[in-house]
Amino acid sequence: MKFFIDTANLDQIKEAQSLGILDGVTTNPSLMAKEGVTGQKNIIDHYLKICDIVDGDVSAEVISVDYKGIVKEGEELASLHKQIVIKVPMIEEGVKAIRYFNDKGLKTNCTLVFSSGQALLAAKAGATYVSPFIGRLDDISTDGLELIGDIRDIYDNYAYETEILAASIRHTMHIIDCAKIGADVVTSPLSAIKGLLNHPLTDLGLEKFLNDHKKGN
- Active-site positions read 87
Kindly indicate which of the ranges 64-72, 89-97, 128-136, 191-199 contains the residues binding ligand G3P, using the contact rule CB under 6 A.
128-136
For ligand G3P, the binding residues in 167-186 under the rule CB under 6 A are 167-168
Task: Report the nearest approach of ligand G3P to the CB of residue 28 (Å).
Answer: 4
Interaction between residue 136 and ligand G3P (CB under 6 A): yes
Q: Does 6 bind ligand G3P (CB under 6 A)?
A: yes
Rounded to whole angstroms, the Cα distance separating 92 from 107 reads 18
**Strand stretches in 90-214, DSSP E:** 108-113, 129-132, 163-166, 185-188
**Choices 38-46, 132-140, 141-149, 194-202 (CB under 6 A): range interacting with ligand G3P:** 132-140
Beta strands in the chain (DSSP E): 2-6, 24-26, 57-61, 84-89, 108-113, 129-132, 163-166, 185-188
Number of residues located near ligand G3P, criterion CB under 6 A: 9
Using the contact rule CB under 6 A, the part of the chain among 117-125, 133-141, 172-180, 194-202 near ligand G3P is: 133-141
Whether the Cβ atoms of residue 171 and residue 136 lie closer than 8 Å to each other: no
- What Cα–Cα distance (Å) separates residue 17 from each residue in 4, 61, 109, 164? 10, 21, 21, 22
Q: Looking at beta carbons only, is 116 or 188 nearer to ligand G3P?
A: 188
